[in-house]
Homo-oligomer: A and B are copies of this chain.
Amino acid sequence: MKRLVQCVPNFSEGINKKTIEAIVAPLKNKAGFTLIGYEADPDYNRTVVTLLGDPEAMMEPLCLFIQKAIEKIDLRKHQGNHPRMGAVDVVPFIPIKGIKMEECITYAKQLAEKVSTFQIPVFLYGKAATKPERESLPAIRQGEFEGMKEKLLQPEWIPDYGPRERHETFGVVAIGARMPLIAFNIDLMSPDKEIASTIAKTIRKSSGGFQYVQAGPAYLNQRGHIQVTMNILDYTKNPIYRLLEMVKMEAKRYLIDVPSCELIGLVPRKALEESVFYYLERDQKNKSKFSIAEIAELAVFYLGLRDFNPGKIIESHLKE
């Protein structure tokens, strides 16, 4: 069986198309893995790249990709709505099929070692973390690019690889291994970021909410409204529909509409199916055996997903 890993590097440019294309170029049309897509968000000023395939084949292109980011991005001039600490901010390896988490950890360490030779400090995170305090990406990233200079001097934040000094223009990168997560953003028709912040607190673990949810506020300049942006670390425990319905419920007290939402990167079929089933049961509709295209269509209808297509469902790429 083929070994399939999903790798989702995030880099800190979401506006300049030429720069984005230059950085992504080394990942295009390579043997052994597929560039599924790259989603640039101008408000976040960040691009999320999704690769799927053999991790062995990804190693060299990932190094070239990171070298391009060193060349093209100067974080001292970077502003965006998403927290960041590096030009390439985070590179997770995610086991999908025929591969164990342990192997993904090994590939994370391999890449970390190579990247450290570019004079970039690297933290291992997620399942690859070397200390419990480094499992959480937000904990590592706290202080962001601006705070990393001092953070690296603290004895508890000595990087796992590379120099103990922030790269002047690139910053610091986290490389790790983790289970698939759902990157889910909910649109709220208001310009008031404070409200997105208050609602994010009602659902996220760190403020008393759901165990497997990280969430925060964002204001989307280009679209002119706020978002609650979240990672769902375990969608079997905290399914998409529950978070959407919770946010809708909270938004009612502010008389704010919640017309749409978006999934960033790939999503497992089961995660969508489970949420679609909630609405089908609620509305007393039949649950038959749906195709991937049907699941996608139902998810768009019931969750109000925008910019979605069946290619964003992992299983659409797993035809053997």
Contacts and interface: CB of A to CB of B under 8 A. Distances in A.
B212 A210 contact: no
Residue of A212, A253, A281 most packed against chain B (CB within 10 A): A253
In the complex this chain forms, how many copies of it are found? Answer: 2
A98 interface: no
Interface in A259-287: 278, 281-282, 284
A67 B209 CA distance: 42
Contacts of A202: 242
A274 B61 CA distance: 54
A56 to B, nearest CB: 35
A76 interface: no
Contacts of A234: 208
Given A205-B211, A246-B246, A253 B238 contact: no
B237 A254 contact: no
A287 to B, nearest CB: 11
A249 B255 contact: no
A59 B261 CA distance: 57
A17 interface: no
Interface residues on A, range: 20 to 34
Interface in A161-220: 202, 205, 207-212
Nearest to A208: B237
A319 interface: no
Nearest to A212: B208
A252 interface: yes
Given A209-B211, A254-B281, A249 B245 contact: yes
A267 to B, nearest CB: 19
B210 A209 contact: yes
B237 A255 contact: no
B208 A211 contact: yes
Contacts of A254: 281
A282 B252 CA distance: 5
A237 B201 CA distance: 9
Contacts of A207: 237
A242 B237 CA distance: 18
A253 B280 CA distance: 8
Interface pairs A-B: 7 shortest CB-CB: A208-B237, A253-B281, A208-B211, A252-B282, A245-B249, A253-B282, A253-B278
Given A253-B282, A255-B284, 6 more contacts: A202-B242, A207-B237, A208-B237, A208-B238, A242-B250, A253-B281
25 contacts: A202-B242, A205-B211, A207-B237, A208-B210, A208-B211, A208-B212, A208-B234, A208-B237, A208-B238, A209-B210, A210-B210, A211-B211, A242-B246, A242-B249, A242-B250, A245-B249, A246-B246, A246-B249, A249-B249, A252-B282, A253-B281, A253-B282, A254-B281, A255-B282, A255-B284
